[in-house]
Each structure stands twice: as structure tokens, then as C-alpha cells.
Amino acid sequence: MTLSSESRSLAVVTGTSTGIGAATARELARHGFHVLAGVRRDRDAEAIRAPGIEPVILDVTNPEHIAALTARVRADPQERPVRALVNNAAIQANVPIEAFGIDRWREMFEVNLFGQVAVTQALLPDLIAGKGRVVNISSVGGKVAMAAYGPYAATKFALEAVSDSLRRELSPFGVHVVVVEPGAVHTEMLGRAIAGAEESLAAMTPEQRSRYGRLVHAVNEQAISSTKSGLPAQVAATVIAKAITARKPRTRYTVGREAALLTLVRFLPDRVMDRILAAALRSHYPSSETPPVTPRVPKVYNA
């Protein structure tokens, strides 16, 4: 894919209000794409609007929004082909499986999986016509399910499976499907995940808090600690742009050393992996037996 073809092409990116999505929209615009940047609110639309970036209101769980996006693509005044779809929109909450309400399970799957599938289904005829590319943003959580990451990891494991099947289905038509697996990256998702954990902790029964309070604290402390050495969202955006513009893209790209390591250690025996993850979490547990208040995320982690 050459720069001249990019300058005549559309790229659709979901979840561009902040973090990796926003950085990806800007990076693709720098590569010459006209980016349709999905946001959920008008104020986010104005924040992302820039030369080469056209914000569109898009809640991936809203069929009317997806229909409007599809209509916009097919009514493009310059009749530009869709060369890329980046499925980035996602939510996260680090909560033990027992304490995560089934309605919240459904919401997480609606956003992180079903919404991605719905957008992909809607745009596939256009991507096939343009021999475009689908880039699904997964996570290290799509390879390794750590304690209290069960709901989020379940959606990402499922997205990885969908990506594998879709890649094999679309290969005969010249459409590449790529998975990008970021590790620790500076984004606002961490703050939202911890806020979700706080809400869940408050809603737990006393018995559940006695079981999981210290675990939730440790998981959130570990997340904050890992993010201190995490990468800026722009690094992930650069990898995503490479996945879109490379002549022969890999089927998977990791972002950061942590992601590369975790995708390798998953081949260890289960019990060995359990011990490694437990050891990594141990230093983040509070010394008191009383479940503590979940820590806040410093402002530095918002991007």
C-alpha cells in the first residue's frame, strides 16, 4: 500500500476519544488517510477533529450509529475506498468473576466483542471491495487471564478467536486481518478500570469483600506500578499504522516488552504459570488483613 493510495483512502477507527484510539487516528491522518474517527460524545468529536480526521458519533453497541457510519462510507463525496478498520473501542474492569454482576458481563461483551463484530460485519463489503485491512485491538489479556481480569480477558480471548477465523475467511479476497496486543500503555482506560473495581468492591457482600478485597487492591496497585514504566499511546499507534501500511503484515503485533513476554510464557504448564503470576502479584498486597480502599490513579496516567 503506497502513500499515494493512502491519500485517496478512508480509515475507520473506533474509540478515538482518548488513548490508543486518538493516537491512531492522528497517526493515520499523518500517513495520508482520511480518518473517520468514532467517538461517543460531541465534545470528544471537537477534541479529535483535525485535518484528515472527521469525527463520527459512534457507540459500537448502537445499530443506528453503525448504520449511519456505513451510509457515510458509501456516500463519500470523493468515492474513496475503505482501506482500514481499526476496532479499538473497549471497556475494562478488574473484578473477580464471582463479584462481577452478570449484567456487567453482558455490557462488557457488547462493547468489547459484539460491537466490534457488528461494525466489522457492516463494513466488510466495503473492505472486500477495497482490499482493505481489519485491525483488531486485543491485549495481553487476550493471551493470559490473570486474577481479577476474567471478564475483560474473556472478551479479548474471544476477539482473538474471531480474528483468527475472520483472517482465514477473508484471505481469499485479499483482506488481511491483524491483531495488535498492547501491554502497559498510558491511557485513561486504567483509571476507568480502577473506578469500576471500586464500584464493584462497594457492591460486594461482606463475605465477598473478605475474600477479594485484598486481591482487588493488589491487582490495581500492580496495574498502576506497571503503567509507570508503560509506553505512550503513540507507540501503539505507530505499530497499528505499520500493521495497516505494511505490504505483508504479520498476523499479530505486540506492543511493549511486557506483551511480548506474556505471549511467550503462556506456553508454560498451567501450574507454573499460576505460580509466576501469583509471585508477581504478591508484593502488591497490603500488609493489613483489612481490605483497603482501592487506590486512585495519579493524573499522569491519563492520556
List Cβ neighbours of 26 (8 Å cut-off, separation of 6 or more): 50, 53, 237
> CA-to-CA distance for 109 and 80, rounded, in angstroms?
32
Q: Indicate which residue of 149, 152, 253, 301 is catalytic.
A: 152
Q: With contact defined as beta carbons under 8 Å apart, do 213 and 200 qualify?
A: no
Q: Per the structure block, which three cell numbers stand in for 157? A: 480471548
DSSP-H helix ranges across the chain:
3-6, 19-30, 42-48, 63-74, 102-109, 115-129, 150-170, 189-203, 206-228, 233-245, 257-265, 270-282
Alpha-carbon torsion, ordered 237, 104, 217, 153, to 10 deg: -50
Q: In whole angstroms, what is the distance from residue 35 CA to residue 117 CA?
A: 20
Measured torsion, CA atoms of residues 45, 46, 51, 54, in degrees rounded to the nearest 10: 20
Handedness of CA 232, 233, 238, 239 (dihedral sign): positive
Among residues 24, 95, 1, 10, which one has the least CA distance to residue 255?
Answer: 24
Residue 152 a catalytic site member: yes
Q: What is the 3-class SS of 45-89, one letter each residue?
A: HHHHCECCEEEEECCCCCHHHHHHHHHHHHCCCCCCCEEEEEECC
Tell me the CB-side half-sphere exposure of residue 153, using CA atoms within 13 A. 15
8 A C-beta contact, residue 254 and residue 181: yes
Q: Which residues are catalytically annotated?
A: 152
